[in-house]
Structure 1
């Protein structure tokens, strides 16, 4: 098994989870769920994984295509179902690119390749959520 993590209970609602990269992170519930808010919330961490996965794809394609981009970020808004188990059923993912010389056509191709071909986290999300992706170019 290539991916193996260990998540250790630290008491109350807090956990420490390792990662194959060698970096650890903390997971905790918020005060509204008897936690202390000293770590990532599990469901929000899934959204960070989605943004990170697609962001790495797009960053790699920007480099390979030799595109001029001053900056870019990804904003995600997601809605949970009303009933338990609550999961994200609607996700909106907005890519924001910044720069004076943006090649909009190639940047859109990079986003599309990530969404449709490369990002495994996106493929997982698409199994249970309606995912809408938008691209914004800011010069």
Structure 2
């Protein structure tokens, strides 16, 4: 069984620093409206970045294996929080944007579907507490 260990240390005021199994550190801080100085990532936004990163890594890996690489790829996530505390994401929209001169829609759809339904553990975690909607956008680059 794989285990991850992350240590998070209070630095000052509302600022924390977390290590990572990769050896890299990141800083988290509350916004000024919450007593912080805005000098770091917001924890809930990091969750969305983790979702995009997890699925994005899957998709790029799968597209390479399918010989369907793209010139540009980005993931936009829009998430709606509950009104009551503890506030958590109740609705999440994941928009996958692919750009290339020669897009391969069937392979792109397959790669996204495999990430969403089979490989991305962060996506599965989100589905435990939120309604998650997925949309794929294909942008043909004209030369």
Map of 1:85 onto structure 2: 86
Gaps of 5+ in 2: none
Map of 1:94 onto structure 2: 95
1:7 aligns with 2:11: no
1:60 Cα deviation from its structure 2 partner = 0.3
Give SS of 1:10's match.
strand
1:2 Cα deviation from its structure 2 partner = 2.3
Distance in 2, Cα, partners of 1:60 & 1:68: 9
Map of 2:111 onto structure 1: 110
Which consecutive aligned stretches of 4+ in structure 1 deviate over 6 angstroms post-superposition?
none
Query: Any conservation in 1 of the 2:13–2:36 contact (CA below 8 Å)?
Result: yes
Distance in 1, Cα, partners of 2:119 & 2:30: 32
Distance in 2, Cα, partners of 1:62 & 1:68: 5
Distance in 2, Cα, partners of 1:103 & 1:68: 9
Distance in 1, Cα, partners of 2:67 & 2:3: 32
Query: Any conservation in 1 of the 2:99–2:139 contact (CA below 8 Å)?
Result: yes
Distance in 2, Cα, partners of 1:89 & 1:58: 24
TM-score (norm 2): 0.96
Could you list the per-position Cα deviations for residues 2-44 of structure 1 after superposition, in whole angstroms to 9, with x for gaps in the alignment?
Answer: 2001100001100000000111000000000000001000000
Give SS of 2:38's match.
coil
Paired residues, number: 139
TM-score (norm 1): 0.98
